[in-house]
């Protein structure tokens, strides 16, 4: 996976990001379960994704908590 540096921070993230809105908020009628959401995020990590887009408006805070739980244990590897 290619990497990109964000601004002047030297924070390096994957060139491809993952939008997390559909994990618990959606314009459609169905949303994935918490377990499915965690599995999806972990699957993205296994494929090299390290850039996750989330927002309070998807919850509030529910989306961030789900992504945080999914990334627990792997975020220190980056």
Instruction: Give the per-residue pLDDT at 28.
Output: 66
**In 1-76, which ranges are continuous DSSP H helix?**
34-46, 62-71
Instruction: Give the per-residue pLDDT at 68.
Output: 94
Cβ atoms < 10 Å from Cβ of 38: 18
Under 8 Å CB-to-CB from 47, ≥6 apart: which residues?
Answer: 1
Active-site hit among 58, 63, 70, 71: 58
Tell me if residue 58 is catalytic. yes
The predicted model scores a pTM of: 0.85
For residues 33-58, give the mean pLDDT: 92
- Label residue 37 exposed, middle or buried (CB < 10 Å: 0-12, 13-18, 19+): buried
In the block, which residue shows the tokens 């887009």? Answer: 53
When the pLDDT of each residue in the chain is averaged and rounded to a whole number, the result is 88
Contact 23, 38 (CB under 8 A): no
């Amino acid at each position: 996976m290619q990497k990109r540096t964000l601004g002047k921070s030297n924070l390096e993230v994957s060139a491809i990001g993952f939008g997390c809105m559909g994990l618990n908020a959606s314009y459609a009628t169905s949303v994935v379960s918490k377990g499915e959401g965690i599995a999806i995020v972990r699957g993205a990590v296994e494929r090299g994704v390290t850039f996750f887009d989330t927002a309070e408006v998807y919850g509030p805070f529910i989306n961030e908590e789900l992504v945080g739980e999914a990334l627990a244990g792997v975020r220190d590897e980056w």
